[in-house]
Amino acid sequence: MGKKVIIDCDPGIDDALALLIAFASEELEVLGITAVAGNVSSDLTARNALALCALAGKNIEVAVGASGPLSGKPCNASDVHGSNGLGNVDLPLTGSVSSRSADEMLFEELIRHNGELELIAMGPLTNIALLIKNHPDVLLLVKKLTIMGGSLGRGNVTRYAEFNFYADPLAADIVLRSGIPIEMYGLDVTNHALLFAEQIDEIEGWGGLVLTQTVAMIRYYQAFYRSKGLDGLKMHDPLAVAGVIDPEITKRTPHALGVETRDPETLGRVLVLNDVEPEAPRNVDVCLEVDQDAFSRLFMGLMKSYR
């Protein structure tokens, strides 16, 4: 059996691709999914997660989480992912969401797996921050938290902030400063993890129901990037999952980090605390380099299993 993980996400087309490779990988055992408001509302992200499980033939518990940020104005990315979050592809739904809330699922499963459970967070960090606030006693049981979010360089919502951190800066600050062992995949690397136009055509050529629906979502996301002058996709969330599957595809450096929560201009910006707060723990391994070829091989290999 692979690493035991719960995936916290806001599907989202790149979340969808990340979930599909997580389901296909023998290195991971996905024990549950918690949905959070982000790209679209939490009702829709939970629905999408369930529909993606059904598409991939997986029976995985999906719990609904926070419907908005801990503080500040809610925002979404339906301009990038479509009004339903999946490029307006209408995936059929089977099953229903869990009777447990995201908070209950995270708390109970961390206790049940007693230090063996990893978390992967690919949306705003609201659910994880609530876990930290509501159950500080279970933090030591988080084996590792892998995050897609933030940037040490430029943002993608504002000059300073990446979407997941911008959507809930307070949550991101609480999580980064929590002391939990974190691996952070920010725009510094995810902007360089691409799915090229010819690879999309190749996946389309493989056929089959799962990949036909997947390519329909991808084409929507591709149109967004084409409008920005890129003939391919930025694989933000899939890179975070790929990094858990194979840690060799990225290089990481430990940092002490926080997030700007007050200044309206730089809200959501990552703050490097290494020298400013020398006693702050360097608990965040920031990925700053990715092996694009190794990432492509891993992604394409896992997608091929859906033919």
Residues assigned a catalytic role: 236
122 binds Ca ion (CB under 5 A): yes
Distance in Å, CB of 237 to ligand BDR, minimum:
5
Let me know if 7 is exposed, middle or buried by CB neighbors in 10 A (0-12, 13-18, 19+). buried
Distance in Å, CB of 152 to Ca ion, minimum:
19
Q: Which stretch binds Ca ion (CB under 5 A): 6-14, 52-60, 191-199, 291-299?
A: 6-14
Contact 239, 148 (CB under 8 A): yes
Return d(Cα 140, Cα 167) in angstroms, integer.
26
162 binds ligand BDR (CB under 6 A): yes
Of 12, 65, 150, 258, the residue at the interface with Ca ion (CB under 5 A) is: 12
163 binds ligand BDR (CB under 6 A): yes
Residue closer to ligand BDR, measured from CB, 132 or 161: 161
Interaction mask 190-229, ligand BDR, x per CB under 6 A: ----------------------------------------
Interaction mask 228-247, Ca ion, x per CB under 5 A: ---------x----------
Whole-angstrom CA distances from 286 to 72, 85, 142, 177 are 26, 28, 18, 14
The closest residue (CB) to ligand BDR is: 163
61 binds Ca ion (CB under 5 A): no
Q: Pull the structure tokens for residue 185.
A: 């995949």
Residues of this chain, 17-56, that bind Ca ion according to CB under 5 A: none
Return d(Cα 189, Cα 51) in angstroms, integer.
29
Of 48, 127, 156, 213, the residue at the interface with ligand BDR (CB under 6 A) is: 156
155 binds Ca ion (CB under 5 A): no
The contact set with ligand BDR (CB under 6 A) reads 12, 14-15, 39, 77, 80, 122-123, 148, 156, 162-164, 236-237
